[in-house]
Every structure is written in structure tokens, then in C-alpha cells.
């Protein structure tokens, strides 16, 4: 179920490129609302993210090819391909 929510969040962000919005799933329906959560920009390096936002709360192991890594912060998570941000998603906690 959590994977389904993350997928819905990523899809919502893909459609709202450039907009400050967060995607919320309520009763299995995707809703978009404005977000003021500061997140890393696409293309930033891991070093730049850590310098700006500090150490993540959790670093998930790298998977796949190309290597994909996820870092969790309070309020958002960052997804990297190799060492570059490909998305930053607002989370509920």
C-alpha cells in the first residue's frame, strides 16, 4: 500500500512540474494542493543536498541499474539517479 501511495505521489509531481504542490491520497484518490515545503531541485548532487538540508533521517540502499537511491528527510524524500536528484516528494511525516 505504501508503494502505491509513493507511486501516486511521483505521478502527481510529474504532472505538476515546476509548481509548488504536494500530492495527497485520500480514500485512494489523488488530490493536489499547494506546498511550501522547501525541497532540493532536480539535478542537484548528493553533496549539494546534504550541504543544504543536512544529513537525511534515513538512507535507503541503492537499487537497480542505473543506481537509484532514496533519502528520507522530515517532510520530504529525495530520489537520486547515480548522484543527481531526479525527484523530491513531500511526505506526510
pLDDT tens readout for residues 55-85: 999 999 999 999 999 999 999 999 999 999 9
Burial of residue 1 (CB within 10 Å: 0-12, 13-18, 19+) is exposed
Range of the domain at 56: 2-90
Q: Which residues fall within 8 angstroms of residue 66, CB to CB, at 6 or more apart?
A: 81, 82
Whole-prediction pTM:
0.65
pLDDT tens readout for residues 11-57: 555 544 444 555 667 777 776 666 778 999 999 999 999 999 999 99
Counted domains in the chain: 1
Give the pLDDT confidence score for residue 17 in this predicted structure: 44
Amino acid at each position: 500500500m505504501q508503494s502505491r501511495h509513493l507511486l501516486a505521489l511521483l505521478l502527481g509531481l510529474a504532472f505538476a512540474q515546476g509548481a509548488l504542490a504536494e500530492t495527497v491520497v485520500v480514500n485512494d484518490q489523488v488530490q493536489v494542493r499547494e506546498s511550501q515545503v522547501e525541497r532540493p531541485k532536480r539535478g542537484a548532487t548528493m553533496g549539494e543536498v546534504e550541504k543544504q538540508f543536512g544529513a537525511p533521517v534515513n538512507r535507503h540502499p541503492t537499487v537497480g541499474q542505473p543506481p537509484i537511491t532514496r533519502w528520507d528527510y522530515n517532510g520530504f524524500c529525495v530520489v537520486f539517479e547515480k548522484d543527481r536528484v531526479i525527484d523530491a516528494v513531500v511526505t506526510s511525516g
